[in-house]
Amino acid sequence: MMQETLEFVPITLYFVCLVVLTIYGMHRYWEVFLYYRNSRKIPAKPVEFTALPRVTVQLPLFNERYVAQRVISAVCALDYPRELLQIQVLDDSTDCSAGMARLACEQFRQQGFDIQYIHRTSRMGFKAGALENGMASSTGEFIAIFDADFVPRREMLRAVIHEFTDPHIGCVQTRWEHLNRTQSLLTRSQAIFLDGHFVIEHTARSRSGRFINFNGTGGVWRKTAIVDAGGWQHDTLTEDMDLSYRAQLHGWRIKYLGDVTSPAELPPEITAFKQQQHRWTKGSVQTSLKLLPTVLRSSQPWPVKIEAFFHLTSGVVYPLAVLVAILFFPAFCFAGAGVLSASYPILWLVMSVLFTLLTFSAGTFYVVAQREIKENYFAGILLVPFLMAIGMGISLANAIAVIEGLTGHQSEFVRTPKYGVGTHESPDQWKRRAGAFSHKAQWIPFAEVAIGLYLLACIVIALWFDRAASCVPYMLIFMFGYLYVGSLSLHRLWQSRRDIKADTFEILSPSAVV
């Protein structure tokens, strides 16, 4: 009796996790369907302003020595009447980049630009606090926001601003483009991940009347919409998602323009990518706890509420993915002889169907996105196993983020390091610059490697004893993901310590400003 109970424990846990993951996987199919159903609903061209309104461009910075001058120069090159453009450099920097940004502002001010350099001595509220502080002296009716790693196109403001002739539009989000898309397998994978979010999710939600989120950068807000929604708040790590939902609950619409792009830099190394994903995941959990009850109690239609539920709770997949990776082999091997036998054909069939649906949902979602933006979607198909591996590899770090968000664990806003890659630098220049960013020693990379080695042992057992050998292809993907992410993280940690000891920091010359 005890043995039968022990056999059912891993299969039961695995089955529960698989069911929940499949539900979220099926939601991806639904988003693809929603995208195709609404892709032909191209919004009508807006009525244009008879006189262009005044716009404030905000650039939140924090220790951005390698990209501060680049983004300031790009914003000053925007094709918008200079007399109607205010630029705010919101700098919380504590290193030499503060002087570099201040000098860049002074040089452009001498050229006739209305550009403010606002430096805070405290990071109170982090990015949200800097944006809120800048609004106090902003003179624009509309506020455009660009993070430090963005290089906005000259025509961006003119392509967006006329959308606001509709008095119900509170925000317009553009599609992110990627300066260093082809730099490595890691950046290619990130680009595909983000393309899925922008091309499929944003288009489907925006054109079907669901709630969407401002992505924190590459967009323009109506100032009155920010104020009406309660302003920038810093009780979550995703202040952009928080404000987006509050604004839409107050009746404002957020419009997505997929044909207007804002180029930006992708994190070229694994630690920066994981930090970014950790912050986004934890912030979405915090926003869910803060606003989802309000959304569900609101008078919004049920399709809006259901989509908001899946959107805000999507982080739950990460702890479940970790459990699936750990339980995958025990469920099929040790419980397989007793549970997954001819006596239980329905259970075997159900689990096989669920796992197949789950596996192909991600591939379908991302390949369709590549096809729609005219990227090489055949290459995207070939990358699907690698995408699955990367997604599995970062699942442990993101699972920790989910737990921290649910338990109310407070942490600072850890910004994603920017290296200034993707324009004119040599491919390896970012590696020298990466030494400027320290990485705290954490147990997570060691745990990732440990899970990878555990899965390797499971594969050996499966092949040696011919137990659940059909699981081996999937376990290979899981194993590769954990070992790839964990080993790269450990290597980056070692490399950063070596570079910091050598004090090999590269500082850009102020003469490179213009």
In a 13 Å sphere around the CA of 112, the CA atoms on its Cβ side amount to 5
Compute, in degrees rounded to 10, the torsion defined by CA atoms 142, 146, 147, 149: 180
**Residue 58 contacts residue 91 (beta carbons within 8 Å):** no
Compute, in degrees rounded to 10, the torsion defined by CA atoms 18, 24, 29, 35: -170
Compute, in degrees rounded to 10, the torsion defined by CA atoms 266, 200, 142, 68: 0
Q: Which of 91, 147, 149, 240 is catalytic?
A: 240
Q: How many residues does the chain have?
A: 514
Q: In the structure, how many helices (H) and strands (E) does the chain have?
A: 18, 7
- Sheet containing strand 142-145, edge to edge, reads 114-119, 85-91, 55-61, 142-145, 219-222, 169-178, 253-264
Residues with Cβ within 8 Å of residue 11, at least 6 apart in sequence: 331, 335, 339, 340
Phi/psi at 488 (5° precision): -65, -40
428 counts as catalytic = no
Angle formed by the axes of helices 444-464 and 395-407, nearest 10°? 130
Q: Which of 92, 147, 149, 242 is catalytic?
A: 92
Instruction: Please state, in angstroms and rounded to a whole number, the distance separating the CA atoms of residues 120 and 136.
Output: 14
* Secondary structure class of 174 (helix, strand, coil): strand
Instruction: Please state, in angstroms and rounded to a whole number, the distance separating the CA atoms of residues 247 and 253.
Output: 8
CA angle 385, 390, 395 (to 5 degrees): 125
| Two tokens, residue 435 | 């030494």
195 counts as catalytic = no
| Two tokens, residue 202 | 């944003």
Q: Which of 484, 258, 286, 285 is nearest to 390 (CA)?
A: 484
Residues with Cβ within 8 Å of residue 232, at least 6 apart in sequence: 125, 128, 129, 131, 132, 135, 226, 239, 243
Element (H, E) at 381: helix 377-393
Instruction: Please state, in angstroms and rounded to a whole number, the distance separating the CA atoms of residues 297 and 291.
Output: 10
Residues with Cβ within 8 Å of residue 437, at least 6 apart in sequence: 272, 417, 496
Greatest pairwise CA separation for the chain in angstroms: 84
User: What residue type is 218 in one-letter code?
Assistant: G
Phi/psi at 299 (5° precision): -90, 10
Instruction: Please state, in angstroms and rounded to a whole number, the distance separating the CA atoms of residues 117 and 91.
Output: 7
- Give the active site residues: 92, 240
